[in-house]
Chains A and B, each alone.
Chain A
Amino acid sequence: MGRKLDPTNTVKRGPGRKSRKQKGAETELAKFITDEEAAVPKRLSSRGFTDENSQWLKPAKRKREGDEPESDDSDEHWEEEEEEEEQTKQTKKGAKDQGKKSAKLGIKEVEEEEDDDDDEMVDDYGAVDDSSGEEAAAAEEDSDGEELLPIERAAKKEKKKKETMAQESDDDDDDDDEEEDEDGGDKEKKSDADSDEEDTVQANMDEMDAFRLPDAEECEKESIIPLDLKTIYQRIKDNVDVLCNFSTKREVGKERSEYISLLKKDLCTYYSYNNFLIEKLMDLFPLSELVDFLEANEIQRPVTIRTNTLKTRRRDLAQALINRGVNLDPLGKWSKVGLVIYDSSVPVGATPEYLSGQYMLQGASSFLPVMALSPQEGELVLDMSSAPGGKTTYIAQLMRNTGMIVANDANADRLKSVVGNVHRLGVTNTVICNYDGRQFPKVMSGFDRVLLDAPCSGTGVIAKDPAVKTSKDEADIQRSAHLQKELILSAIDSVNAESSSGGYLVYCTCSIMVEENEWVVDYALKKRNVKLVPIGLDFGKEGFTRFKERRFHPTLRLTRRFYPHSHNMDGFFVAKFKKFSNVVPTATAGKDITDAPEATAVTGSPEEKPSKSDKKKKTVPGKAGDLKGKPQANGTAAKKTANIKKKGKRDSPAGPKKAKIAKMDGETVQEAEAKKPAVKTADDTKASKAEKKEGSRFEKKQGKNRKATTKANGRMGKNKFRKLKNMLRKKGGE
């Protein structure tokens, strides 16, 4: 019991905990009395705390009449929810009376009732400012309550607590006195009013629940007077909510597409994206993730650095930086050289440690491709797109300055930063050159490992460069994809499949678009004798094996995607290839192999086996072991026979066209059977040539070979297909 028993004797309360606890007899009594009357179960866990301290954790409520500072209101709301409903309703009623419609009031009460479990902080600001309509406001509060997780609620509570701490100490003393007086009287009145309110609760709930699509007039209104961001954000949330539970929450008569188009519009407005990009992102992510992704793109990823193990150790570096006043932590279990910087009193990019090359500023996602590449000491490594040199220097430190690295970049200005970084970090085994990556195989090939960090649209690093949001469109993506396809083929041609320790290529981009990632990888699988291998990192989302209307090779599962909202690093994609044969698949070579899987379906002829063994013989120079990738690779190569001489831009068609071509291939198979001996000899010559070439480290592209082989077959020509057809007809005639 409190010390104070006489309500009229108001004693000034102290600021401490105890004084708040000892409110006086009337409040204590009131609690007991209301406990008997109320049938409301005490909700403890949903409040975020479970002990009996609900009383002292909130200052006593005060009756609100007229205008009072909103902050007090919100403070009130937040705290009141701990008390019994009747009390809260009463005060809310008072609070809401300031300039609000009675309907809204009803809604608020209703909301209190049902949201007591969910939302403790009804945001007064939102309610007051909202002018877009009752339902929207109601829906806002409703969904606000539903969508917050317990931990988020607790965090919000903490924030509010802090904000109002300052005011509390002043207001509390005065207010508490008032409230104590009022409470006793009010309590009795409330209980009667409550029953009425409960009836209205149900009715209002139904109204509030429905998220209404704006009709034509409202749209027009919006275009004249744009909505404020808060409203749009709420609308987005509601919309997503409805779309996730479409069957239950939809408005009768409205199509899903209407909801989606509204959502698109709102997302574009709220996050400042252009339409194209939002559509692409909607294809990539489920709606719940989409909002997370967009939110994550608004804030920067944490600054990370990589210790240069050529000059120092992570431990020592961390110590030195802490002494300078930098707040840091190791990056994670997956990296032994990474450190994440939380804050720093000195510029991280200008400390003497940085200048002496003990660390490098590098994004966490940039560690991944080099870790995937895992270069060994003494190897010959190529970094095709090396600017500004972070990955190159990481490769060098993993190789401990042995072997040799060729760091290439097409942009001469950016190469300066590579030079700077290479020298600063004390890397001595690097040659830096300025070639177009697509021409690289002509310059030098036979590398043990190649890293290709392809130039891309940058949709994964929107947090770093917000201009991407509005500047990218279909043409940009296609251009990037085309360039990446050319680069990846050059990169593959630069790898030496015979390498004793390597034969690997890592392809990575800082983009999340399927056109630039999985599609390019799939293209490479079809065009060259490569296969995908596991990356060696145990986290990250698997790449897509199918996307919209496209179907990719099943091994695409081995690639990895990283997202800002799920991994807290820039959006990234990593794929690791192993080249198993230096032979460049050509039209002829492809045909034989394709025949194996596809023709069996069509002709069911047992003659396929010999062709397969042919292929085996041919690839004796390369790794004959793995044919998994080959049928795929050659499958599409066979398709090439049908679409010959379609240089460059076009991919082998997927989907329905594929089936059609497969059928045609079936026909050509029979021809192939007849031509097998001829093909075989051609292949043998090719194989022997390849072997000879592989003797020397620096091979020129086997363009000449290709021509010779095809010419030998006698099937090359401008209008190859017509020729084929004629031949078939001839055969049929025979």
Chain B
Amino acid sequence: MRPLTDEETKTMFEKLSKYIGDNIKLLVDRPDGSYCFRLHNDRVYYMSEKILKLATHISRDKLVSVGTCFGKFTKTIKFRLHITALDFLAPYAKFKVWVKSGAEQSFLYGNHVLKAGLGRITENTMQYQGVVVYSMTDVPLGFGVAAKSTLECRQVDPMSIVVFHQADVGEFIRNEDTLT
């Protein structure tokens, strides 16, 4: 387990800020202690410093996971955000999309969100803005990228994609192996 290098930190924060903007500092300085990011096996883990101390006793090859895994760095040093980060993105999300009950299942299977399934969308959403997807009962379902800006969403036909799917909670069952 090692701290992130500057470059890695930059890449990761850029990705995160797509979804939560500059609320990233809220992730690091929390009222209940300071948290940090560490890299282990190409995956970025988010944990409090107390846990960090204790986790150092475990040898590298035996350590499987610490705190919460946010995502991983690919072989070409790009950062890919995993669904496991949803719990931390959702409360700080700047732009949200609500999906109708009928289209909920479809999104959970990994499909994009169509205009027909769109319930609500935050105002001023730019195109290709990172968004967090919610169900109508305000349960976070995943996140994605807005395919159309809010204004365009209103005009476009019902069968066109409005949110590109990036990660959804259904992956806990579908991709259990790749979580670690």
* Ranked 9 nearest A-B pairs via Cβ: A355-B169, A423-B84, A432-B65, A432-B64, A419-B180, A444-B57, A424-B172, A431-B55, A433-B58
Report the separation of the CA atoms of residues A320 and B101 in the bound assembly, to the nearest whole angstrom.
Answer: 13
The yes or no answer to A225 lying at the interface (CB within 8 A) is: no
Interface residues on B, range: 35 or more
Residues of chain B contacted by A426 (CB below 8 angstroms): 87
The yes or no answer to A404 lying at the interface (CB within 8 A) is: yes
Q: Are B65 and A419 in contact (CB under 8 A)?
A: yes
Name, among A418, A423, A426, A428, the residue most crowded by chain B CB atoms within 10 Å (CB to CB).
A423
Q: Are A434 and B68 in contact (CB under 8 A)?
A: no
Residues of chain B contacted by A429 (CB below 8 angstroms): 48, 51, 67
Interface residues on A, range: 20 to 34
Q: Which residue of the partner chain, among A358, A416, A431, contacts B63 with CB atoms under 8 Å?
A: A431
The yes or no answer to A435 lying at the interface (CB within 8 A) is: yes
Report the separation of the CA atoms of residues A676 and B169 in the bound assembly, to the nearest whole angstrom.
Answer: 67
Q: Are A415 and B172 in contact (CB under 8 A)?
A: no
- Distance in angstroms from A427 CB to nearest chain B CB is 8
Q: Are B57 and A434 in contact (CB under 8 A)?
A: no
The yes or no answer to B124 lying at the interface (CB within 8 A) is: no
Which residues of B in the span 130-144 have a Cβ within 8 Å of any Cβ on A?
135, 137, 139-141
Report the separation of the CA atoms of residues A415 and B64 in the bound assembly, to the nearest whole angstrom.
Answer: 8
Q: Are A380 and B54 in contact (CB under 8 A)?
A: yes
Q: Are B179 and A420 in contact (CB under 8 A)?
A: yes
Residues of chain A contacted by B170 (CB below 8 angstroms): 355
A-B contact pairs, 20 of them (CB 8 A): A350-B173, A352-B108, A352-B141, A352-B169, A355-B172, A356-B169, A380-B54, A415-B64, A419-B65, A419-B180, A423-B68, A423-B84, A428-B46, A431-B55, A432-B63, A433-B58, A434-B64, A443-B57, A443-B59, A444-B54
- Distance in angstroms from B63 CB to nearest chain A CB is 5
The yes or no answer to A422 lying at the interface (CB within 8 A) is: yes
Residues of chain B contacted by A416 (CB below 8 angstroms): 176-177, 179-180
Report the separation of the CA atoms of residues A620 and B63 in the bound assembly, to the nearest whole angstrom.
Answer: 37
Report the separation of the CA atoms of residues A349 and B47 in the bound assembly, to the nearest whole angstrom.
Answer: 28
Q: Are B62 and A433 in contact (CB under 8 A)?
A: yes
Residues of chain B contacted by A352 (CB below 8 angstroms): 104, 108, 135, 139, 141, 169
Contact with A along B44-79 (1 / 0, CB 8 A): 001110110011011100111111110000000000
Q: Are A423 and B63 in contact (CB under 8 A)?
A: no
Report the separation of the CA atoms of residues A354 and B151 in the bound assembly, to the nearest whole angstrom.
Answer: 34
Q: Which residue of the partner chain, among B62, B137, B176, contacts A417 with CB atoms under 8 Å?
A: B176
Report the separation of the CA atoms of residues A429 and B68 in the bound assembly, to the nearest whole angstrom.
Answer: 8
Name, among A419, A431, A435, A444, the residue most crowded by chain B CB atoms within 10 Å (CB to CB).
A431
**Chain A minimum-CB-distance residue to B63:** A433
The yes or no answer to A698 lying at the interface (CB within 8 A) is: yes
The yes or no answer to A307 lying at the interface (CB within 8 A) is: no
Report the separation of the CA atoms of residues A350 and B108 in the bound assembly, to the nearest whole angstrom.
Answer: 10
Which residues of A in the span 339-381 have a Cβ within 8 Å of any Cβ on B?
349-350, 352-353, 355-358, 380
The yes or no answer to A406 lying at the interface (CB within 8 A) is: yes
- Distance in angstroms from A153 CB to nearest chain B CB is 47
The yes or no answer to A430 lying at the interface (CB within 8 A) is: yes
Residues of chain A contacted by B108 (CB below 8 angstroms): 352, 355
Q: Are A698 and B135 in contact (CB under 8 A)?
A: no
Q: Which residue of the partner chain, among B51, B139, B140, contacts A431 with CB atoms under 8 Å?
A: B51
**Chain A minimum-CB-distance residue to B57:** A444
Report the separation of the CA atoms of residues A432 and B68 in the bound assembly, to the nearest whole angstrom.
Answer: 11
Which residues of B in the span 159-180 have a Cβ within 8 Å of any Cβ on A?
169-170, 172-173, 176-177, 179-180
Interface residues of B (CB under 8 A from A): 46-48, 50-51, 54-55, 57-59, 62-69, 84, 87, 104, 108, 135, 137, 139-141, 169-170, 172-173, 176-177, 179-180
Residues of chain A contacted by B55 (CB below 8 angstroms): 431
Residues of chain B contacted by A420 (CB below 8 angstroms): 172, 176, 179
- Distance in angstroms from A438 CB to nearest chain B CB is 14
Q: Are B137 and A419 in contact (CB under 8 A)?
A: no
Contact flag A356-B66 (CB < 8 Å), given A416-B177, A424-B172: no
**Chain B minimum-CB-distance residue to A350:** B173
Contact flag A404-B63 (CB < 8 Å), given A355-B108, A443-B58: no
Residues of chain A contacted by B66 (CB below 8 angstroms): 431-432
Residues of chain A contacted by B169 (CB below 8 angstroms): 352, 355-357, 424
Residues of chain B contacted by A350 (CB below 8 angstroms): 173
Q: Which residue of the partner chain, among A349, A404, A434, A698, contacts B62 with CB atoms under 8 Å?
A: A434
Q: Are B173 and A356 in contact (CB under 8 A)?
A: no
Residues of chain B contacted by A434 (CB below 8 angstroms): 62-64
Report the separation of the CA atoms of residues A727 and B66 in the bound assembly, to the nearest whole angstrom.
Answer: 57
- Distance in angstroms from B144 CB to nearest chain A CB is 16
- Distance in angstroms from A317 CB to nearest chain B CB is 11
Q: Which residue of the partner chain, among A320, A353, A419, A428, contacts B64 with CB atoms under 8 Å?
A: A419
Residues of chain A contacted by B104 (CB below 8 angstroms): 352
Q: Are B139 and A406 in contact (CB under 8 A)?
A: no
Q: Are A404 and B65 in contact (CB under 8 A)?
A: no
Residues of chain A contacted by B63 (CB below 8 angstroms): 431-434
Report the separation of the CA atoms of residues A404 and B63 in the bound assembly, to the nearest whole angstrom.
Answer: 15
- Distance in angstroms from B67 CB to nearest chain A CB is 6
Which residues of A in the span 386-412 have a Cβ within 8 Å of any Cβ on B?
404, 406, 412
Report the separation of the CA atoms of residues A588 and B48 in the bound assembly, to the nearest whole angstrom.
Answer: 44
Q: Are B65 and A431 in contact (CB under 8 A)?
A: yes
Residues of chain B contacted by A404 (CB below 8 angstroms): 50-51, 54
Residues of chain A contacted by B47 (CB below 8 angstroms): 428
Contact with B along A525-560 (1 / 0, CB 8 A): 000000000000000000000000000000000000
- Distance in angstroms from B102 CB to nearest chain A CB is 13
Known A-B contacts: A356-B139, A356-B169, A430-B65. Give 19 more (CB < 8 A): A352-B135, A352-B141, A355-B108, A355-B172, A355-B173, A380-B54, A404-B54, A415-B64, A419-B179, A422-B65, A423-B69, A424-B172, A428-B47, A429-B51, A432-B63, A443-B62, A444-B54, A444-B57, A698-B57
Residues of chain A contacted by B65 (CB below 8 angstroms): 419, 422, 430-432
Report the separation of the CA atoms of residues A698 and B55 in the bound assembly, to the nearest whole angstrom.
Answer: 12
**Chain A minimum-CB-distance residue to B68:** A428
- Distance in angstroms from B66 CB to nearest chain A CB is 5
Report the separation of the CA atoms of residues A352 and B69 in the bound assembly, to the nearest whole angstrom.
Answer: 21
Q: Are B54 and A406 in contact (CB under 8 A)?
A: yes
Report the separation of the CA atoms of residues A353 and B169 in the bound assembly, to the nearest whole angstrom.
Answer: 10
Report the separation of the CA atoms of residues A426 and B139 in the bound assembly, to the nearest whole angstrom.
Answer: 13
- Distance in angstroms from B164 CB to nearest chain A CB is 20
- Distance in angstroms from A396 CB to nearest chain B CB is 12
**Chain B minimum-CB-distance residue to A353:** B139
Q: Are A356 and B179 in contact (CB under 8 A)?
A: no
Residues of chain B contacted by A412 (CB below 8 angstroms): 64
Residues of chain B contacted by A357 (CB below 8 angstroms): 169
**Chain B minimum-CB-distance residue to A439:** B62
Residues of chain B contacted by A431 (CB below 8 angstroms): 51, 54-55, 58, 63, 65-67
Name, among A352, A412, A426, the residue most crowded by chain B CB atoms within 10 Å (CB to CB).
A352
Report the separation of the CA atoms of residues A155 and B87 in the bound assembly, to the nearest whole angstrom.
Answer: 51
- Distance in angstroms from B141 CB to nearest chain A CB is 7
**Chain A minimum-CB-distance residue to B85:** A423
Contact flag A444-B58 (CB < 8 Å), given A355-B172, A416-B177: yes
Residues of chain B contacted by A432 (CB below 8 angstroms): 63-66
- Distance in angstroms from B84 CB to nearest chain A CB is 4
Residues of chain A contacted by B141 (CB below 8 angstroms): 352, 355-356
Contact flag A428-B139 (CB < 8 Å), given A356-B169, A420-B179, A435-B62: no
**Chain B minimum-CB-distance residue to A380:** B54
Report the separation of the CA atoms of residues A422 and B179 in the bound assembly, to the nearest whole angstrom.
Answer: 11
Report the separation of the CA atoms of residues A415 and B173 in the bound assembly, to the nearest whole angstrom.
Answer: 15
Report the separation of the CA atoms of residues A423 and B65 in the bound assembly, to the nearest whole angstrom.
Answer: 10
- Distance in angstroms from A675 CB to nearest chain B CB is 40
Residues of chain B contacted by A380 (CB below 8 angstroms): 54
Report the separation of the CA atoms of residues A417 and B104 in the bound assembly, to the nearest whole angstrom.
Answer: 25
**Chain A minimum-CB-distance residue to B46:** A428
**Chain A minimum-CB-distance residue to B65:** A432
Report the separation of the CA atoms of residues A424 and B139 in the bound assembly, to the nearest whole angstrom.
Answer: 13
- Distance in angstroms from A494 CB to nearest chain B CB is 12
Report the separation of the CA atoms of residues A594 and B117 in the bound assembly, to the nearest whole angstrom.
Answer: 76
